[in-house]
Structure 1
Amino acid sequence: MKQNEKIVKESERFFYIDSLRGIAALLVVFQHDFVPLLGGDSDHFFWRYVLDAGKMGVIWFFIISGFVIPYSLKEGEGALRNFAISRFLRLYPAYWLSMGCALLAMSIAGAVMPPTRLILANITMFQTALGIADLSPVYWTLFIELVFYIICASAFAVGLLGKIKFRLTMVIGMMVLAMLMGVARDVFNMRFPVALPLALSLMFFGSIWRDALVDHCAVAKKYATWVLALYCFAMPLTFYMAYRTDMGYGETWTRYACTYAFSIATFIFFTQKFRITGRFWVWTGAISYSVYLFHPLVIRMVAYWLTPFDFPVLLVAVIAVASTLLVAHLVYTLVEKRFINLGRTLQRRPVKPVAVTGP
């Protein structure tokens, strides 16, 4: 019986999703490590106007969250408590470690330390909501993840998360909100957070796509088609209005449009037509969170240590990637995995009934 249960559990694991998660992390590393060697965003036409590999990885991350997270909320006693425990212990320990390592590296290098207010805000992972800068340039996506978790938990609490019409409404509503923000950004020349509703729309699309792909739900297939048609019209318009004027980040609307279109198309292709399940890619998926968190620091440290030796820059970039994978593997093994297991242990504990006393 136990052997049969093990087979079922292994068959339920989406190894191709793990692989895409790993590739997504490596795309972000590629953007930060190799693209500067290939001309950089500002000097090379392709990287400036056509494709942002790092953003492609982030888009995959968002769709994967929608593919996975809503289904981790399961009916039963203590469902929301278990979800909160799982998500907290999955995200925060490695995140805090990356913060500590970054601050330690800054101290050793003699860099100007960030103000205490910024550090304290970043500890919460809600610094964006507080209007405070990220300690690391990759932290911005984590706030969006938290917003998605809160929406999913709230929808689950009132019985809406399992309803596909609710998720379709969220996809469309967030896309419309992104369009309105894009127009407002253009009209008022102000930086409205277009990325937030766009990401949430993609996340809820990911859940609809899973229903269509895994459960073979006819309604989900129809809705997914509608959403893709909406994206074909709405996304280019949103990007044109939001990013035709560069507000200081080297933004070009064509790069946004091409990157989002290519990212969504390739995600659909690699989940429907050509599933990658090789051991290396599945392994990179397991350590992808630590790859994402630690790669900026590792890249800087490797460059700092190897610059005096006058190695070819391409070799330094390759060493940085290898070092990132090694560090991520260590963090996953020594930190992430242990806290994930702790979370599972805590979730197995029964919920204590609340004693009701009379007046």
Structure 2
Amino acid sequence: MLNQLQPVRLRTRLKRLEARDVPGPGTKRPARLHALDGTRLVAALMVVAYHYTARGGGWPTPVREMFPGTFRLSAYGYLGVQLFFLISGFVICMSAWNRPVKAFFVSRVVRLYPAYWFAVIATTITVAVVPGGRRHLPWNDVLTNMTMLQQAFWVPHVDAVYWTLFTELRFYLLFVLVAWWGLTYKRVLLFCCVWGAATLVVAKAPPGPLRMLLIPEYSWFFIAGMAFYLMYRFRPNLMLFGIVGICFCASLAPTIDEFKHLTPFLGRRAAWPVIVVLAAFFGMMALIATGRLSRVQWRWLPVLGALTYPLYLLHQVIGWELIGYFAPRELVSPWGLVGVLVLGMLVLSYLVNKLVEKPLGDYLKRGLAQL
């Protein structure tokens, strides 16, 4: 009789644990994932290397000739955006868990807008001040950029890298539906499956509101990021690994299409490194999700991780403007100029984090908390 009751008690215990969203027995997670900060920095530096030594705006001669060896690698640096989306799926799920929708909304506003507003203003001023550079947008377009919704209104970006922010906002809009319902293992798992199925339906559909909302070009990365977080919180299982595997395979087609669209800018290149790089991204996230990198506790990683968002926002147009001004004068070598730019952008990003993001973020948080 006792032996018959034990399985029933075990099932009841597991259901209670799941209902309370508590990880399984013996699961102890660190307060902060330092390895995730390092991965975020890698993604940002990949994009910076791509824009400075592969896409190469501002250089007086073709960048392929100036950095022939580096070009072979940095030409794939744009894939850092896909890594950002993977991380975002993980982090957004983690930050929204056990929090009301209002707190999630406030956290996203506080995280995204202070550095973004500064970047829009700083980039606009740089374009206006640096002689011989590009023309800045009309002021009404600059003001529309301050909303972060300019892409929805077909208004040009102050800096082209802002397109990823609109993609993030669409992910938040979808995710807030399940957050409002209440985040549990089963509900997030259901959301992953439903979004994946909807992506298949609209993948080849013509442009329209539904396609824009579902983000079929990048949805697989967000879905995989959420599945990785479920692994991290509830331990891995065959279902979650299956979702991640499907996301990896399904993400290859739109990513290779994007690779082909960049051929006019970067020339003909082998496509197989795209698969290798994406596999490395998924492998790194798997190590984080399964706790293999939990021992990485270097204190400087969170500091560098905090620089990635302002670095991403500031580096492209401002960097290209400075390259276009200084490179023809040959005051330093091309590599010297790239090194100074990267170091300068990191210092500027640190100052933005300390002097803009934190104080303005605290002000916004206090104000929005009163709504």
TM-score by length of 2: 0.74
**Match for residue 147 of structure 1 among 170, 176, 184:** 170
* Match of residue 251 from structure 2: 235
Are residues 1:296 and 2:320 paired?
no
Q: CA deviation at 1:82?
A: 2.3
* Match of residue 355 from structure 1: none
* Match of residue 114 from structure 1: 137
**SS of alignment partner, residue 342 of structure 1:** helix
User: What is the alpha-carbon distance in structure 1 between the residues aligned to residue 219 and residue 153 of structure 2?
Assistant: 19
User: What is the alpha-carbon distance in structure 2 between the residues aligned to residue 165 and residue 114 of structure 1?
Assistant: 43
Are residues 1:52 and 2:76 paired?
yes
User: What is the alpha-carbon distance in structure 2 between the residues aligned to residue 30 and residue 328 of structure 1?
Assistant: 16
Quick check: 221-230 or 238-247, which moved more? 238-247
The one-letter amino acid of 1:130's match is: F
User: What is the alpha-carbon distance in structure 1 between the residues aligned to residue 197 and residue 106 of structure 2?
Assistant: 29
User: What is the alpha-carbon distance in structure 1 between the residues aligned to residue 260 and residue 53 of structure 2?
Assistant: 26
Cα distance change on mapping 1:138 and 1:152 into 2, 3 Å: same
Which string of whole-angstrom CA distances, capped at 9 and with x for unpartnered residues, describes residues 86-113 of structure 1?
A: 2112211211111111111122135423
The one-letter amino acid of 1:202's match is: F
Cα distance change on mapping 1:249 and 1:166 into 2, 3 Å: farther
Cα distance change on mapping 1:316 and 1:95 into 2, 3 Å: same
* Match of residue 279 from structure 1: 299
**SS of alignment partner, residue 221 of structure 2:** helix
The one-letter amino acid of 1:321's match is: V
Are residues 1:223 and 2:239 paired?
yes
Quick check: 141-150 or 305-314, which moved more? 305-314
For the 8 Å contact 2:50–2:77, the answer to whether it is kept is yes
Q: CA deviation at 1:239?
A: 4.6
Are residues 1:134 and 2:152 paired?
no
User: What is the alpha-carbon distance in structure 2 between the residues aligned to residue 318 and residue 285 of structure 1?
Assistant: 20
Cα distance change on mapping 1:50 and 1:73 into 2, 3 Å: closer
User: What is the alpha-carbon distance in structure 1 between the residues aligned to residue 198 and residue 68 of structure 2?
Assistant: 33
Which string of whole-angstrom CA distances, capped at 9 and with x for unpartnered residues, describes residues 173-193 of structure 1?
A: 355257435xx69xxxxxx87
Please give the root-mean-square deviation of Cα atoms over the aligned residues, in Å. Answer: 3.7
Cα distance change on mapping 1:137 and 1:161 into 2, 3 Å: farther
**Match for residue 158 of structure 1 among 178, 181, 200:** 181
* Match of residue 265 from structure 1: 283
Cα distance change on mapping 1:82 and 1:159 into 2, 3 Å: closer
The one-letter amino acid of 1:290's match is: P
Quick check: 23-32 or 318-327, which moved more? 23-32
User: What is the alpha-carbon distance in structure 1 between the residues aligned to residue 362 and residue 35 of structure 2?
Assistant: 23
For the 8 Å contact 1:40–1:47, the answer to whether it is kept is yes
* Match of residue 197 from structure 1: 216
Are residues 1:19 and 2:42 paired?
no
Which string of whole-angstrom CA distances, capped at 9 and with x for unpartnered residues, describes residues 264-297 of structure 1?
A: 2333345544465433432110121111111124
The one-letter amino acid of 1:209's match is: F
Which string of whole-angstrom CA distances, capped at 9 and with x for unpartnered residues, describes residues 288-339 of structure 1?
A: 1111111124423543564335311111111111100100000000010113
**SS of alignment partner, residue 118 of structure 2:** helix
**Match for residue 108 of structure 2 among 79, 83, 87:** 87
**SS of alignment partner, residue 310 of structure 1:** coil
The one-letter amino acid of 2:197's match is: G
**SS of alignment partner, residue 204 of structure 2:** helix
Taking only the aligned residue pairs, the percentage that are identical comes to 21
**SS of alignment partner, residue 156 of structure 2:** coil
User: What is the alpha-carbon distance in structure 2 between the residues aligned to residue 258 and residue 178 of structure 1?
Assistant: 27
TM-score by length of 1: 0.76
Q: CA deviation at 1:69?
A: 1.2
User: What is the alpha-carbon distance in structure 2 between the residues aligned to residue 177 and residue 155 of structure 1?
Assistant: 20
For the 8 Å contact 2:83–2:281, the answer to whether it is kept is yes
For the 8 Å contact 2:130–2:321, the answer to whether it is kept is no
The one-letter amino acid of 1:64's match is: I
Structure 1 unaligned regions, length at least 5: 1-9, 186-191, 352-359
For the 8 Å contact 1:171–1:205, the answer to whether it is kept is no
Which string of whole-angstrom CA distances, capped at 9 and with x for unpartnered residues, describes residues 12-59 of structure 1?
A: 122221221122212211212234599549x9699679961232x212
**Match for residue 334 of structure 1 among 348, 355, 362:** 355
Aligned length: 327
**SS of alignment partner, residue 161 of structure 2:** coil
User: What is the alpha-carbon distance in structure 1 between the residues aligned to residue 153 and residue 366 of structure 2?
Assistant: 33
* Match of residue 4 from structure 1: none
For the 8 Å contact 2:115–2:356, the answer to whether it is kept is yes
The one-letter amino acid of 2:176's match is: A
User: What is the alpha-carbon distance in structure 2 between the residues aligned to residue 240 and residue 25 of structure 1?
Assistant: 21
Cα distance change on mapping 1:172 and 1:318 into 2, 3 Å: same
User: What is the alpha-carbon distance in structure 2 between the residues aligned to residue 315 and residue 177 of structure 1?
Assistant: 49
User: What is the alpha-carbon distance in structure 2 between the residues aligned to residue 100 and residue 73 of structure 1?
Assistant: 30
Are residues 1:311 and 2:332 paired?
yes
User: What is the alpha-carbon distance in structure 2 between the residues aligned to residue 311 and residue 49 of structure 1?
Assistant: 23
Cα distance change on mapping 1:346 and 1:115 into 2, 3 Å: closer
**SS of alignment partner, residue 180 of structure 1:** coil
